[in-house]
Amino acid sequence: MIERIVESLKKLELFFGIDENFLIEFAKKARIETHEAKEIVRRRSEKCEELLFLVEGEAVGLFTNSEGRVLQIDHMVAPKLLASAVVFSDDPKYPVDVETLKKSVFLSIDRDIFVSCLMKNERFLRNYLKYVSDAFLFITDRFYEIAMKNLVQKVCSYVLKLSEEQRSDLVVMDMSKEELSREFGVTRPALSRVFLELEKMGIIEAHGRKIKIKNGRYMKDHAQLYD
Amino acid sequence: MIERIVESLKKLELFFGIDENFLIEFAKKARIETHEAKEIVRRRSEKCEELLFLVEGEAVGLFTNSEGRVLQIDHMVAPKLLASAVVFSDDPKYPVDVETLKKSVFLSIDRDIFVSCLMKNERFLRNYLKYVSDAFLFITDRFYEIAMKNLVQKVCSYVLKLSEEQRSDLVVMDMSKEELSREFGVTRPALSRVFLELEKMGIIEAHGRKIKIKNGRYMKDHAQLYD
């Protein structure tokens, strides 16, 4: 098991340039947790005195409230370090609910053990600082998108981002409309209406998860990409 | 000037337990910027290769978009370290627009100089890590509030927080309704309607910026405080 975990962790940017023996020692100090699909692994506002790694499987980070509203903040595929930008606070809490999509294996490292490893290895420390900065940028960009963009802009930004990644005007969506509506914080019918509207206007052509961009100019004007 | 700046910086948690000579050296390496009230000091998505301190005055962090929508993310009173959780990213960018409310003095320290100071002083490093964790918790809480709470819940949370801070059921609001509506991402009339409604229901009594809590139970039930 340790070998499989080390192989998985190695792929994380956090461990780039880190000696394999350091990594093995690190993994040995951790606790392993296995969860079935659709389990809630951690809840927002729970105390967070650990570093949590998703080493196998797939999970999402969610905001939920008592009225049943669900907003998907992040979609995480192993290997991935989760919500670990908060551990140095005096009152560290999980910022999101963590829920598995598939059967998943997690690795939990006690905060104090992590900190002592961090202070012993400057490369590891710099990797962690970079991880935290990137996590901060990610969350503020998600916040901006949810709070400041309307649904047409969100769809245009999303499709254009895929088009850039896939280097094509014919893109394949990396999630279902169901999941996408959770990402955007809207209902499924509202999302479908926007897709239909964009098709009627001749901006896109949609077949299931495949989308053809027909008017890239319009999409760029509406995406308001800030980068 | 250097003495005034050092006096101001000393009050920041980032410099707690840090030797004064270290602080003087640090301040000497910085660039001073003065801005009048209502000036835009930095813009969201601008490259951020500095640490920025507000040493005198008052400023806000804003999300804005091309449709004129403005959402106030943070209200900052000197001394304060601004938006500096991003500097370790490979592509560090300002997460918000920074706009002065009053005439203000800023201190800008080049990222590389800051990093080298950080790596020389473990206490300073730990303070910075704590700052970043707290900033991450702050931004995710703001995000949760804006995305997941309705306006009644936002008002109840806000008034209860004031009541806790001021240890009284008779609280004085620390901002105008105008500013509060920007904080909540709603229009001024929508906010006034909620205050009127809560008054009609006998939950609060409002006189200008003074608010008396008459039904704390109702407010707690609606605030959905997670801490």
Domain residue ranges of chain B, discontinuous segments joined by +: 2-147, 150-223
Q: How far apart are CA A6 and CA A21, in angstroms?
A: 10
At B227 the pLDDT is: 35
Contacts of A71 in chain B (CB under 8 A): 147-148
Question: In angstroms, what separates the C-alpha of B207 from chain A's closest C-alpha?
Answer: 31
Class of B2-147 in CATH = mainly beta
B225, pLDDT greater than 70: no
Nearest residue to B61 (alpha-carbon basis) of B79, B82, B45: B82
The total number of residues shown for chain B amounts to: 227
Q: What is the pLDDT of residue A182?
A: 86
Burial class (CB in 10 A: 0-12, 13-18, 19+), B165: exposed
Topology alike, domains B2-147 and B150-223: no
C-beta atoms of B89 and A130 within 8 A: yes
Using CA coordinates, name the residue in chain A closest to B227.
Answer: A45
B138 touches chain A (CB under 8 A): no
Distance from CA of A86 to the nearest CA of B (A): 4
Taking 70 as the pLDDT cut, the residues of chain A under it are 224-227
Distance from CA of B53 to the nearest CA of A (A): 18
pLDDT at B182: 86
Encoding tokens for residue B162? 């004031």
Smallest CA–CA separation between B3 and chain A, in Å?
30
- Would an 8 Å CB–CB cutoff place B163 in contact with chain A? no
Confidence category of residue B226, pLDDT binned at 50, 70, 90: very low
**Which pLDDT belongs to residue A125?**
93
A interface mutation test: which of B42, B45, B148 has the most A CBs within 10 A? B148
Interface contact B136-A139, CB threshold 8 A: yes
Q: What is the pLDDT, as a whole number, of residue A82?
A: 92
pLDDT of B41: 97
Position B30 pLDDT exceeds 60: yes
Chain A's closest residue to B63, CA to CA, is A144
Taking the C-alpha atoms of residue A118 and residue A125, their distance in angstroms, rounded to an integer, is 5
Long-range contacts of A176-182 (CB under 8 A, 24+ apart): A176/A209, A179/A72, A179/A75, A182/A62, A182/A70, A182/A71, A182/A72
Instruction: Report whether CATH 1.10.10.10 matches the domain B150-223.
Output: yes
> Which tens digits make up the pLDDT trace of B130-160?
999 999 999 999 999 888 888 888 899 999 9
Provide the pLDDT for residue A220: 85
Taking only the tens place, the pLDDT of each residue in B40-89 is 999 999 999 999 999 999 999 999 987 778 899 999 999 999 978 999 99
DSSP B99-112: EESS-EEEEEEEHH
Question: Under an 8 A CB cutoff, do B133 and A89 touch?
Answer: yes
Residue A224 has what pLDDT? 61
CB B82 within 8 A of CB A128: no
| Residues of chain B contacting A149 with CB distance shorter than 8 Å | 65
Q: Looking at the DSSP assignment, which residues form a beta bridge with residue A170?
A: A212
Contact between A90 and B130 using a beta-carbon 8 Å cutoff: yes
CA distance B205 to chain A (A): 27
**B122: nearest CB among A85, A119, A224:** A119
